[in-house]
Structure 1
């Protein structure tokens, strides 16, 4: 089904010999539109601008069928963002498989973006892979992993975050803040899932951190208060 008010997809598509993909109107039927958009993404004749437009539209009409074509563009820093944008809303586990596979191979900013998407999708299967990055020499990657684990917010993710918090050097203030943010996120997820005991344990753990930044301490205390209110 197309989104409400989304009756016509206009993308770059002109299949003429030796021509680059430029412009045509795609029929409003969901499956037909998706098939045409996938062809645009895959074609070597598509300009970068129209490939990005096709990916943007696949975020609306895309299904499992679009995943392989989009996944091919996850590794290029120039296209990874739009490929992830298209993949994130697709309700199929094939997306999570593709993101995890890419994360295991990607580097730099692409890798950080992949962690963000995995966190958005709350892929519990990615927890072991993300946990390995908590001790990565790349501070940005380690921080992104902490935030993604917090967004996933399972008991396993929380355990990984607590383990990293126990071993982080006190002078590593940036990573400390990233871990605190991840733990706060995880506590919220666990509380929302009804696991108040685990959420409370996370807030209590944060409050035991020496020289905890004021805003983190405030957030943890507010979290504890909210749990008390829910209990009442």
Structure 2
């Protein structure tokens, strides 16, 4: 086929696409958002299914991956023969059901669906169901309650880095007191848990224990220690796990108790929401494409506490944009609740480099708004801790404004990087009066030897306040270059300035002592003693 014919064919296909809505990208792009049908099966449960079901629906739809329908069974004792479900049309089935037996035809349809490659999420008490249904128990892996015992299969738990299968007789299904507890991801390479912190805190929940069942083709992702202090078993119990049945993928989470307090604390837990969403996507597709939120409740210290729990109000991540909008009108003396929300947001996102970068960008942008000075000060408190060169341009602009200079300096003094030092040095040349004196002071807090020539120049300035401030800043810098500049100026000055220079030299001597540089420390002290000061030294 010659080139001319190929060009004509391509042109024809292109024109056809304009009229038919066809696009070349449709050949390669993944299914559009919300294209996967998910079905939540509920209606009978020994937990509050009327509360949990709409929450689960929202959590799934918030991923942008699922269009969710809910199948509600007849009430207990009702006619289950009419409860016929079209599992085959679904990419995902979420089980939020523990009640009367399904009809034989519905049971067969479910088993066929899973065997043929359907995805399933077993949520919390759905593992209480159908003790006598063999295939169901193989699909869920482990179950509890409803008269389960050793006939249901072994106890399965985690010990010494491996799964234990304990065939001892006894009940199946138990939990101690509801409490916050630490979860440990035992497999951090699985698509569901990949990228999550190895340890994370979960909000007050029932910690299912003594679960038993066939446990075939079961893979434990995460466990939690059932502490005897909480009336638990003293074992590391399986919390998140997967099961394969035929071609089907099953994600089983025992988390998410709904009953009593509304909204349910465990369902607000970031860890529950994120693992549920990731588990659902994996069950439906075999992969996970969702990003991990920056405030996932990771534990990065030896001992976890309830303070490490993260809960999302309304089961959705908080919006920094919305928080800053509320902060923007804050003034001193007002209720600081919104400042607490800002603080909690920033702290919760500190362990994710991507999230903290996005957080800083929004905080820096806020400083360029019409927000109150009190609001900008609140933001600068956080930039002082998390700021990088990203924040420097807007802070440099604030630096030269008498109203905002102190606020900007407060943040800049602790932000690392040469860009801050350059902004402060340039700010000295472009400012005057109290603004300039403040910038000189901040340069001293930076302890950067490159600022010494600039500060030394001000030791001989006509503005007495600037000279004293420069001498103090050189003492705080305390580098060999700063010591040399102060030593040189000591004999050329008098009065208050000479006294400040002497005080700053003693600070340099203290730094030398801290470095065990005895020789330099003695030399600096001797220099101070050699001068007769007209004004006493005030040394902190």
Please give the TM-score of this superposition, normalised by the length of structure 1: 0.78
Per the TM alignment, residue 196 of structure 1 is displaced from its structure 2 partner at its CA by 2.1
Q: Is the 8 A contact 2:503 2:537 kept in 1?
A: no
Counterpart of 1:103 in structure 2 is 428
Counterpart of 1:41 in structure 2 is 367
Q: Is the 8 A contact 1:149 1:158 kept in 2?
A: yes
Q: Is the 8 A contact 2:389 2:417 kept in 1?
A: yes
Counterpart of 1:225 in structure 2 is none
Distance between the aligned counterparts of 1:174 and 1:152, measured in 2? 20
Counterpart of 1:157 in structure 2 is 482
Q: Is the 8 A contact 1:12 1:46 kept in 2?
A: no
Deviation sequence 1:45-102 (CA, Å, 0-9, x none): 3333322222222112212211111111111121111101111111222111111111
Q: Is the 8 A contact 2:468 2:500 kept in 1?
A: yes
Distance between the aligned counterparts of 2:400 and 2:526, measured in 1? 40
Counterpart of 2:459 in structure 1 is 134
Q: Which has the higher strand share?
A: 2
Per the TM alignment, residue 112 of structure 1 is displaced from its structure 2 partner at its CA by 1.1
Q: Is the 8 A contact 2:499 2:537 kept in 1?
A: no
Distance between the aligned counterparts of 1:129 and 1:60, measured in 2? 27
Counterpart of 2:325 in 1: which secondary structure?
coil
Deviation sequence 1:197-220 (CA, Å, 0-9, x none): 22211100111112566667xx7x
Counterpart of 1:187 in 2: which secondary structure?
helix
1:1-232 matches, cutoff 5 A: 12-13=324-325, 21-22=328-329, 27-28=345-346, 29=349, 30-43=356-369, 45-169=370-494, 173-211=495-533
Q: Is the 8 A contact 2:376 2:407 kept in 1?
A: no
> CA 1:39–1:111 in structure 2 vs 1: closer, same or farther (change >3 Å)?
same
Counterpart of 2:77 in structure 1 is none
Deviation sequence 1:180-229 (CA, Å, 0-9, x none): 1111111112232333222211100111112566667xx7xxxxxxxxxx
Counterpart of 2:398 in 1: which secondary structure?
coil
Distance between the aligned counterparts of 1:39 and 1:111, measured in 2? 25
> CA 1:211–1:66 in structure 2 vs 1: closer, same or farther (change >3 Å)?
closer
Listed as ranges, the gaps of 5+ residues in structure 1 are: 15-19, 220-232
Greater relative contact order: 1 or 2 (C-alpha under 8 angstroms, separation 6 or more)? 1
> CA 1:97–1:214 in structure 2 vs 1: closer, same or farther (change >3 Å)?
closer
Per the TM alignment, residue 121 of structure 1 is displaced from its structure 2 partner at its CA by 1.2
Q: Is the 8 A contact 1:13 1:40 kept in 2?
A: no
Q: Is the 8 A contact 1:59 1:86 kept in 2?
A: yes
Larger-gyration structure (1/2)? 2
Distance between the aligned counterparts of 1:182 and 1:213, measured in 2? 14
Counterpart of 2:287 in structure 1 is none
Counterpart of 1:229 in structure 2 is none
Distance between the aligned counterparts of 1:211 and 1:121, measured in 2? 29
Q: Which has the higher helix share?
A: 1
RMSD of aligned alpha carbons: 2.9
Listed as ranges, the gaps of 5+ residues in structure 2 are: 1-293, 296-300, 302-306, 311-317, 331-337, 350-355
Q: Is the 8 A contact 1:12 1:53 kept in 2?
A: no
Counterpart of 2:384 in 1: which secondary structure?
helix
> CA 1:71–1:57 in structure 2 vs 1: closer, same or farther (change >3 Å)?
same
Distance between the aligned counterparts of 1:195 and 1:179, measured in 2? 21
Distance between the aligned counterparts of 1:196 and 1:212, measured in 2? 28
Per the TM alignment, residue 11 of structure 1 is displaced from its structure 2 partner at its CA by 5.6
Q: Is the 8 A contact 1:21 1:50 kept in 2?
A: yes
Distance between the aligned counterparts of 1:133 and 1:211, measured in 2? 21
Please give the TM-score of this superposition, normalised by the length of structure 2: 0.35
Superposition misfits of 4+ residues, deviation over 6 angstroms: 4-10
> CA 1:136–1:214 in structure 2 vs 1: closer, same or farther (change >3 Å)?
closer
> CA 1:41–1:120 in structure 2 vs 1: closer, same or farther (change >3 Å)?
same
Q: Is the 8 A contact 1:33 1:61 kept in 2?
A: no
Distance between the aligned counterparts of 1:196 and 1:110, measured in 2? 38
Moved more, 33-42 or 120-129: 33-42
Distance between the aligned counterparts of 1:96 and 1:87, measured in 2? 9
Distance between the aligned counterparts of 1:214 and 1:97, measured in 2? 35
